[in-house]
Structure 1
Amino acid sequence: MSIPFQIVILGGGTAGWMAANLFAHKWADKVASKALQISLIESPDIGIVGVGEGSTPTLKRFFEMLNIPDKDWMAKCNATYKMNIAFTGFSPASGIERYSHPFISQIDTFTQRAFMVNSRTRRMGLDTHTASEDFLLNGTLAKQVKGPQTPDNFPFSIEYGYHFDSHLLGAYLQDHAISLGVMHVQANVEAVTRHPNGDIASLQCKDGRDINGHFFVDCSGFASVLMHKTLGVKFISYKDNLFNDAAVVVPTPMGEHIPVETISTALSAGWCWKIPLTNRFGNGYVYSSDFIDANQAESELKQHLQLEDNQECRHLSMRVGALEKQWQNNCLAVGLSAGFIEPLEATALHITQIAIEQFIMAFEEGEFSNRLQDEFNHKMHKRLERTRDYIVAHYKLNTRDDSDYWRANRSNVHLSESLKQILDVWYKCGDLDNEIKRQDLTTHFNAVSWNCLLAGYGAFPPLAANQPGKGDLYQEQNIAQFVHGCALNFQSHKSNLFR
């Protein structure tokens, strides 16, 4: 009997179990025929940080691929729907206290061009309406606290993300992966052996077990045990671009109405998330330790949330940056072991899922060899850097003047050429959509998302002295009536969750 091809995943959590599920689902026939064995090694001694976490709509596609309906997993993970991210206090000098980045749905094809045209004419000094949440349906649904489920006679698909307890989601994905044939091994790995050619050979456990594999997946978190510590792949810090390196987190009670959006609020040395779960709010202050210490950050978070001084909080550290390569020798890094871009736009799981999907395609096309390794690494490197650019823009464009932190972000000159070109086109009243296409960025953050950000920060010149009294497509195309008419098809968020 031939030996099965063995994939060994080091580390559980959401990233590890997401990889296990996608491998087992994609290669189900090989698992069933014993040609492939997938094992996940998880230390019983390492705790999981169960914070409230948000996703992009990519996670919706993940569950659709696995044929898991929302009702089967959401209740078990205290999950809620997410239609929008609201940003408060990032650009007060513009006169815009709050702006939205709604997830873009199929029906927005009727209104998104008007939004982008209005943003461009506003850059030319015309007084036009540029609030993204008034053009894009999910922004309106968020304001009305409505969920994404539609009646059968509504002919358009709606994109949405989720909020969830990350610890509970990891446990759910663990059970599902095991049902697909994944082996779960609880053990503490204390050494890694390698073949003469540099490939990883086995994981040596504290209890004496030696776990061999043909291919390894590093999901060991910031420790990056296999890729960084064993294979020596260089870590590239984003410290010059993104200053935040720590967080303090605390839960608060849920009110009567469960929102369908993440709220991100600028504080003195970073920003605070507020994520609604069915049983509580998850809150966290992401900050730079160069500008505020842990005790000060905890006090500021408590003051922001109006909590008592004796409220217990948890402190986390973050390593913001990415490995030079995500696939080296016979090892793939996924999740925090590959890199982390701070959670301002909830991109962590999105990048994790994309990396796994791209690897599966490259590994298959390369006939389960390293033939397409360089191409994969190039794609993922570009995706990480362009995602980083979008996050950097949130800080670079701020108009706060209340702390050294925000002033330092605004004066930061460490910008990529890609970001410089986007901002140059914007401020010179060029066609941002064409620039996004020219740079081939549509699979990262598209032109609509960039317009949400730049218009939301009020990155416009003063209004022209003489206004023509026309040219505002929001008014001329009666978009308010169209969007609010569409919203009539939707029910309350709570009814979507507990039906």
Structure 2
Amino acid sequence: MTDICTLFNLTPVARTRPSGELPEPPIRHIAVVGGGTAGWMTALLLANSKFGERLKVTVLESPQVGIIGVGEGSTPWLSRFFEALGIEEREWMPACNATYKSGITFDGWSTRPGYESYFHPFASILDNLTMPQFVGNVHARLNDADVHAHPDRFFISNKVAQSGRAPRPQRNFPFDIWYGYHFDSALLGAFLARKAAERGITHVARHMTSVSLDERGDIRALALDGGDTLAADFFVDCTGFASLLIGKALDTPYVSFSNNLFNDAAIAMPTPSGDGPLRSQTVSTAMRHGWAWKIPLTSRDGNGYVYSSAHVSADDAETELRARLGLLDADVPARHLKMRIGRYTRHWNRNCVAVGLSQGFIEPLEATALLFVQRTAMWLVEALEKGELDEPARESFNEKINAQFEGTRDYIVTHYKTNTRTDTPYWRDNATNTALSDPLRLLLGAWLASKPIVGGIRQGQIGRGYPTMSWYCLLAGMGLFPADANLRAPTAQEAQHDLGGLDQLLERSALNFPDHRDFLHDIPPKVMEKSLQVYQW
């Protein structure tokens, strides 16, 4: 069995400061330009480094610039951020109207009978018992055996989400689930700002007017309105899509993903919460020219439509979303957003690191935006603590982050490439899109040829950044199997798994998880999790 940190190719955020005399930081003062979730998360991780108060962190936040604040879902790694800072769920979740997230349901992406919807689960220790059965049946079905291979039947996270339960089991149940969160992003930014103030991080509420460089091309200082300047040794660009430091000031080259991913706009509209079960899931529903999200908070439901402006106008997209929500005649405002999909070639350029939207963005299908913030800030802290600030360290840093961007792009592209909808040019264009990376071509080719993909994923040759479980759930969930007419009766070896017993195991196990809505009323303290041990295939 493999530690989940290794399985996801990530390093845990959680750390403890060493005792004794604090070391001298390689730089004394870091200015984080831009607030919001990205800016405050980065500032808090920097301030939580082993340098303690010897490293001064200043957040420059313009009162003239609004926060995009639409992303309201996370991957499971966000919990590690709060654990690193010693912040309990019972403190931050009520302050941000947060709920738990056990995974994502994809509705209507496939038209294949029996595969019109599937749930992408987050990992659980219990998967050690069910993943072998799932993978075995997938391989059998790829070889034309008529066995059940839809992922929804095999994972406890799906049972927990659909039954309206919270993914925090009773203490006597030894099978944890790795989970994420839904939250109000504006409230989360405000919460983190308060925590930063408590921890001695300087907040400067001024508007930046220009950036000055020194003779080497490094950033020297920032000019502020009123004639003042802010000088620092190192700068973090959290200015969103504007990328005022990494892009405009340092003129770093940018790589667009527009030929891989067509969506470049979004609409957000809140609606009141429903009265039914509070399901711990994000729902992504295929629309005519993109997909709609539904995110349950304690105060409301977050809704939106991510679409391609090359395929539909903003007005028509809003009408489609309003029709879906039953708000055609309602006086509910819609917020329109433009997205730039791609990344900079260098996330660390000279004495500046870009974090968040300023470094790049991949559409929000898999809620990876905060994960990129967390990874980048975490790796910056690690470089500072090691004193590795030279060009080789910067190149290694950039290569590592670019690999994560490329891997995430490939995983999200696969959702679109494998769709079977034919109702609009948008979906047909996605299915016939040939702008695929070589690793993705190899992965899809191997799957369709019924060849093993596990080894390639383990070695990082294909499927970079996502575990085997995620790829199997995506490809099987979309119904990427031989046509039903070609199926044959399974052999005894192919039919060896007792799915009836598996059903009972998961149904009985789900009873050990509390009602989601009730649990949020009184969240108990969370014991620092041990790293989940999950099956590696």
TM-score by length of 2: 0.89
C-alpha spacing 1:369/1:417, structure 2 compared with 1 (3 Å): same
Contact map agreement 2:165 2:513 (CA 8 A) in 1: yes
Q: Quote the Cα distance in structure 1 between the aligned partners of 2:398 and 2:317.
A: 37
**How far does residue 94 in structure 1 lie from its aligned partner after superposition?**
4.6
- 1:272-351 matches, within 5 Å, as 272-309=292-329, 310-351=331-372
Q: Quote the Cα distance in structure 1 between the aligned partners of 2:184 and 2:495.
A: 42
Residue deviations 1:136-179 (CA, integer Å, cap 9, x gap): 11111011110012222122332100000100000001111121
Q: Quote the Cα distance in structure 1 between the aligned partners of 2:191 and 2:144.
A: 52
Q: Quote the Cα distance in structure 1 between the aligned partners of 2:27 and 2:365.
A: 42
Contact map agreement 1:86 1:261 (CA 8 A) in 2: yes
Q: Quote the Cα distance in structure 2 between the aligned partners of 1:383 and 1:477.
A: 39
AA at the equivalent of 2:263: N
Residue deviations 1:412-443 (CA, integer Å, cap 9, x gap): 00000111111011011111211211325687
Contact map agreement 1:82 1:161 (CA 8 A) in 2: yes
Contact map agreement 2:49 2:385 (CA 8 A) in 1: no
Contact map agreement 2:168 2:176 (CA 8 A) in 1: no
2:228 is matched with which residue: 196, 199, 209?
209
1:14 is matched with which residue: 32, 37, 46?
37
Q: Quote the Cα distance in structure 1 between the aligned partners of 2:434 and 2:461.
A: 24
Q: Quote the Cα distance in structure 2 between the aligned partners of 1:235 and 1:174.
A: 30
Q: Quote the Cα distance in structure 1 between the aligned partners of 2:26 and 2:141.
A: 65
Residue deviations 1:365-417 (CA, integer Å, cap 9, x gap): 24455541101100100000000000000001100000000000011000001
Q: Quote the Cα distance in structure 2 between the aligned partners of 1:422 and 1:345.
A: 19
- 1:164-243 matches, within 5 Å, as 164-243=183-262
Contact map agreement 2:442 2:462 (CA 8 A) in 1: no
AA at the equivalent of 2:151: S
User: Partner of 1:466 in structure 2?
Assistant: 488
Identical positions, percent: 44
For structure 1, the residue ranges without an aligned partner over 5 or more in a row are: none
Contact map agreement 2:417 2:432 (CA 8 A) in 1: yes
1:55 is matched with which residue: 74, 79, 100?
74
TM-score by length of 1: 0.96
User: Partner of 1:353 in structure 2?
Assistant: 374
User: Partner of 1:99 in structure 2?
Assistant: 118
Contact map agreement 1:88 1:97 (CA 8 A) in 2: yes
Q: Quote the Cα distance in structure 1 between the aligned partners of 2:201 and 2:348.
A: 22
User: Partner of 2:279 in structure 1?
Assistant: 259
Instruction: Establish whether residue 121 from structure 1 lines up as the match of residue 127 from structure 2.
Output: no
User: Partner of 1:408 in structure 2?
Assistant: 429
Q: 2:48 aligns to what SS in structure 1?
A: helix
User: Partner of 1:77 in structure 2?
Assistant: 96
Q: Which range is displaced more, 413-422 or 478-487?
A: 478-487
Instruction: Establish whether residue 492 from structure 1 lines up as the match of residue 515 from structure 2.
Output: yes
Structure 1 moving runs of 4+ over 6 Å? none
Contact map agreement 1:194 1:202 (CA 8 A) in 2: yes
Q: Quote the Cα distance in structure 2 between the aligned partners of 1:386 and 1:282.
A: 28
* Paired positions, count: 494
AA at the equivalent of 1:301: L
AA at the equivalent of 2:39: G
Contact map agreement 1:94 1:457 (CA 8 A) in 2: no
Contact map agreement 1:239 1:321 (CA 8 A) in 2: yes
AA at the equivalent of 2:325: L
Q: Quote the Cα distance in structure 1 between the aligned partners of 2:125 and 2:243.
A: 39
Q: Quote the Cα distance in structure 1 between the aligned partners of 2:447 and 2:216.
A: 50
Q: 2:160 aligns to what SS in structure 1?
A: helix
Instruction: Establish whether residue 377 from structure 1 lines up as the match of residue 398 from structure 2.
Output: yes
Residue deviations 1:330-367 (CA, integer Å, cap 9, x gap): 00000000000000111111111111112221232244
Q: Which range is displaced more, 153-162 or 431-440?
A: 431-440
Q: Which range is displaced more, 331-340 or 65-74?
A: 65-74
Contact map agreement 1:231 1:328 (CA 8 A) in 2: yes
User: Partner of 1:153 in structure 2?
Assistant: 172
Contact map agreement 1:129 1:472 (CA 8 A) in 2: no
Instruction: Establish whether residue 37 from structure 1 lines up as the match of residue 56 from structure 2.
Output: yes
Q: Quote the Cα distance in structure 2 between the aligned partners of 1:486 and 1:451.
A: 23
User: Partner of 2:17 in structure 1?
Assistant: none
Contact map agreement 2:71 2:367 (CA 8 A) in 1: no
Instruction: Establish whether residue 270 from structure 1 lines up as the match of residue 293 from structure 2.
Output: no
C-alpha spacing 1:55/1:474, structure 2 compared with 1 (3 Å): farther
**How far does residue 181 in structure 1 lie from its aligned partner after superposition?**
1.4
Contact map agreement 1:363 1:369 (CA 8 A) in 2: no
Q: Which range is displaced more, 89-98 or 227-236?
A: 89-98
**How far does residue 25 in structure 1 lie from its aligned partner after superposition?**
1.0
AA at the equivalent of 2:46: F
AA at the equivalent of 1:79: A
Contact map agreement 1:83 1:161 (CA 8 A) in 2: yes
Q: Quote the Cα distance in structure 1 between the aligned partners of 2:177 and 2:455.
A: 26
Q: Quote the Cα distance in structure 1 between the aligned partners of 2:500 and 2:94.
A: 41
Q: Quote the Cα distance in structure 1 between the aligned partners of 2:442 and 2:237.
A: 35
AA at the equivalent of 1:279: S
Contact map agreement 1:52 1:163 (CA 8 A) in 2: no
User: Partner of 1:390 in structure 2?
Assistant: 411
User: Partner of 1:420 in structure 2?
Assistant: 441
For structure 2, the residue ranges without an aligned partner over 5 or more in a row are: 1-24, 523-537
Q: 2:145 aligns to what SS in structure 1?
A: coil
C-alpha spacing 1:465/1:191, structure 2 compared with 1 (3 Å): closer
